[in-house]
Amino acid sequence: MSSTRRTSGTTIAAHAILITYTLIALFPVFVILINSFKSRKAIFREPLALPNAETFSMIGYETVFNQGDFFQYFQNSMIVTVVSLTLILLFGAMAAFALAEYRFKGNTLMGLYLALGIMIPIRIGTVAILEMMVSTGLVNTLTALILVYTAQGLPLAVFILSEFMKGVSDDLKNAGRIDGLSEYKIFFRLVLPLVRPAMATVAVFNMIPIWNDLWFPLILAPAEEVKTLTLGSQVFIGQFVTDWNAVLSALSMAILPVMILYVIFSRQLIRGITSGAVK
């Protein structure tokens, strides 16, 4: 009896801490959301107040939709993020499988070489990358961004996934070989499902920086038709005046797709963790 009461005590404490943390973490998002629906004056007068009949205004959203091709930006960001993530996961997992599974000369060296990328920021190479993109004619294309983001994400992906793949039982892979599965089938059908939580982790880690990046879109793809959302929103931030309504509205809308992607991955993550234990 006393032990159950004590556990419920710790449960309450744990929940209290988690709820407090959630509130703190969500507060800025909340402020952005409510202010995006207020008139400019109201934003500055009472930043924390909820929009009411008097202060409610859609002016920010109107500006966003009228100025620039917001949907185009949106689509560009989506394409870049989704394609980059797909490539990172596919190639990262394949390289990780090779490193974890096959004994060949220079295996360790190759692993170290690939992991080196984690420690060296890719932005150091910006000038060289730009020169390369210019000479291959990829400037102002989404392909340029996708290539750069894939390169940027691969080292960590290979590192994390190969550690996880080393943990997949050898017996299972060997059973597959004896049953006549090809190496590809072993990779896709046996190993990938078992490292799904790690894949979701890699996806989440890579998704946010790609979606939010301003640096490479500004340098490699500043043209109107390939602008990403983050770059597109910059038009509202001026040197002298900033259109806060528009900035807040654009930000509010930019949250949505990342959230949807996150929900997809995190569900995979949870399913991955429980599929071994429960089902």
Partner 1 sequence: MTALKLENVNKSFGSVHVLKDINLTVEDGEFVVFVGPSGCGKSTLLRVIAGLEDATSGTVAIGGDVVNAVPPAKRGIAMVFQSYALYPHLSVKDNMGLGLKQEGKSNAVVDERVSKASAMLDLDNYLTRRPAELSGGQRQRVAIGRAIVRDPKLFLFDEPLSNLDAALRMNTRVEIAALHRTLSASMIYVTHDQIEAMTLADKIVVLRDGRVEQVGSPMELYNNPANQFVAGFLGSPSMNFLSQSVTGLENGTTLGIRPEHLRFDANGQISGQVTHVERLGGDTNLLVKTDADEVLTVRLFGQDPTEVGDDVRLSYENANAFFFDQNGQRALPRAA
Using CB under 8 A as the binding criterion, the count of chain residues that bind partner 1 stands at 19
Binding of residue 193 to partner 1 (CB under 8 A): yes
Please identify, using beta-carbon distances, which residue of 109 and 178 lies nearer to partner 1.
Answer: 178
Q: Cβ 158 to partner 1, closest distance in Å?
A: 24
Q: Cβ 275 to partner 1, closest distance in Å?
A: 7
Binding of residue 277 to partner 1 (CB under 8 A): yes
CA distance 123 to 117: 11
* CB-neighbour burial class of residue 135 (10 A; exposed 0-12, middle 13-18, buried 19+): exposed
Q: Stretches 81-89, 190-198, 199-207, 245-253: which one binds partner 1 (CB under 8 A)?
A: 190-198
| CA angle in degrees (0–180, nearest 5) for 202-205-206 | 85
Measured from the Cβ of residue 228, the count of other Cβ atoms closer than 10 Å reads: 29
Binding of residue 267 to partner 1 (CB under 8 A): no
Q: Cβ 166 to partner 1, closest distance in Å?
A: 15
Please identify, using beta-carbon distances, which residue of 137 and 180 lies nearer to partner 1.
Answer: 180
Compose the 154-183 pattern: x for residues touching partner 1 by CB under 8 A, - for all others.
---------------x-xx-xxxxxxxx--
Please identify, using beta-carbon distances, which residue of 93 and 142 lies nearer to partner 1.
Answer: 93
154 is written with which tokens? 């691969």
Q: Cβ 271 to partner 1, closest distance in Å?
A: 11
Binding of residue 275 to partner 1 (CB under 8 A): yes
Say which residue the tokens 């930000």 belong to.
251
Binding of residue 278 to partner 1 (CB under 8 A): yes
Please identify, using beta-carbon distances, which residue of 182 and 242 lies nearer to partner 1.
Answer: 182
Compose the 112-151 pattern: x for residues touching partner 1 by CB under 8 A, - for all others.
----------------------------------------
CA distance 108 to 181: 27
| Long-range contact pairs involving 114-122 (C-beta distance under 8 Å, separation at least 24) | 114/154, 114/155, 114/158, 114/159, 115/155, 115/158, 115/159, 116/155, 117/151, 117/152, 117/154, 117/155, 117/156, 118/155, 118/156, 118/159, 122/148, 122/151, 122/152
Binding of residue 82 to partner 1 (CB under 8 A): no
**Among the listed residues 110, 122, 130, 190, the single contact to partner 1 using CB under 8 A:** 190
Under 8 Å between Cβ of 151 and 206: no
Plot region of 102 (φ>0 → left; ψ -120 to 50 → alpha; else → beta): beta
Where along the sequence are the contacts to partner 1 (CB under 8 A)? 169, 171-172, 174-181, 190, 193-194, 275-279
